Amino acid sequence: MITSRDVAKFANVSVSTVSRAFREDVYISKEKKNKVLAAASKLGYTPNHMAKSLKSNKSHTIGIIITDIENSFYIQITKFVENEIKKAGYRLLITFSNEDPERELECLKLLSASRVDGIIFTPSSRTNKDFIDKLRDQNILIIQTYRNLFDYLDSIVNDDEYGAYMATKHLIDHGHTQIIMTDQPNGVKINGYQRALLESNLPFDPNNIIILPVGFEFQDNLSKAIKTRNPSAIISGNNVISSYILKICENLNRNVPKDLSIIMYDDNEWISLNDITVVSHSIERLSQHITSTLFKKLNTDKQEHQLSTIKLEPVLIARNSVKNIYRQ
């Protein structure tokens, strides 16, 4: 392994000079700096990030826990965030929890072991509260995105309640009354759904709600609900559920929007290509709020921190997956 000592020897300087050559705002002559950099390049030396962090007690690393890698929404956010934090001289350590609290704990432990300066994550549940509190005690900044499950942590979420309200309202306005609402647990979409029904004096039927972790059971329940309850419309809680719905429609031979109207959550390329109406969140906006909140706190004293809970309003993009029943 090439160390700063090797470079120092090669360039005929001390190790501290080598160290100085690799940082800004530090006293070093142009001449020596160039000499060191040339030697480093010749030897293929890169400063050891771990030794650096050990000394400075700052890893300059942000950890992110992605709950669901199949959901392109999270991937997009990760891409934006990585880009932003790289500009600020940080790196991103990406882990996958798969919406499983046990794996989430593993991720948290890995990030803790890596002594990350901050963690961005979508809590799968409140299961790991104790460990999260310990991390906070150790001055690790923790930001929740997408779901706000800990009221003492910063959060940047989409206003899903309002999104669901808009979607339900849009369907009601087009004459739908039998609407199935789907989502994963721990969401607030159902509240918006209920509110819209109430406002229009429509009955709320709990059998029209499918809230389950994604997986076979979800697909099965959904498929049965479509067959037996014969709804005129479905609202999909996220990208993964969306693909279930389209699969089921194909299997049951239901045409969208002739036999069944659909509104999905989280726009993407194939949803747009399939001309499906969505509740859309701006990924850029969400990502920007995440990184700006992160760096604001990272660069100020802990005493001055105040909780920031940001809720971003979605928009409804009307395409052609909702039938107007009144014009039948």
Partner DNA sequence: TTGTAAGCGTTATCAC
Partner DNA sequence: GTGATAACGCTTACAA
- Site for DNA, rule CB under 7 A: 1, 3-5, 13-20, 22-23, 27-29, 31-32, 45, 47-48, 51-52, 54-57
Residue of 312, 319, 224, 244 lying closest to 277 (CA atoms): 319
| Contact residue for its own copies among 32, 33, 78, 295 (CB under 8 A) | 78
Does 223 bind its own copies (CB under 8 A)? Our answer is no
Closer residue to its own copies, CB minimum distance, 130 or 205: 130
Measured from the CB of residue 50, what is the shortest distance to DNA in angstroms? Answer: 8
3-state secondary structure string, 24-45? CCCCCCHHHHHHHHHHHHHHCC
Measured from the CB of residue 29, what is the shortest distance to DNA in angstroms? Answer: 4
- Measured between alpha carbons, how far is residue 286 from residues 25, 76, 101, 179, 266 in Å? 33, 10, 24, 29, 12
| Contact residue for its own copies among 14, 16, 34, 91 (CB under 8 A) | 91
Does 96 bind its own copies (CB under 8 A)? Our answer is yes
Stretch 33-62 residues interacting with its own copies (CB under 8 A):
43-44, 46-51, 53-54, 57, 59
Measured from the CB of residue 152, what is the shortest distance to its own copies in angstroms? Answer: 17
Measured from the CB of residue 312, what is the shortest distance to DNA in angstroms? Answer: 37
Taking the C-alpha atoms of residue 87 and residue 67, their distance in angstroms, rounded to an integer, is 25
Q: Are 196 and 172 in contact (CB under 8 A)?
A: yes
Does 26 bind its own copies (CB under 8 A)? Our answer is no
Identify how many contiguous H helices and E strands the chain contains and give both numbers: 13, 12
Measured from the CB of residue 248, what is the shortest distance to its own copies in angstroms? Answer: 11
What burial letters (b/e) apply to 160-196, b meaning 16+ CB within 10 Å?
bbbbbbbbbbbbbebbbeebbbbbbebbbbbebbbbb
Measured from the CB of residue 114, what is the shortest distance to its own copies in angstroms? Answer: 5
Question: Phi, psi (5° rounding) for residue 26?
Answer: -150, 145
Interface positions with its own copies (CB under 8 A): 1-2, 43-44, 46-51, 53-54, 57, 59, 69, 72, 75, 78-79, 82-83, 86, 91-96, 106, 109-110, 112-115, 131, 134-135, 137-139, 243, 246-247, 250, 269-270, 273-274
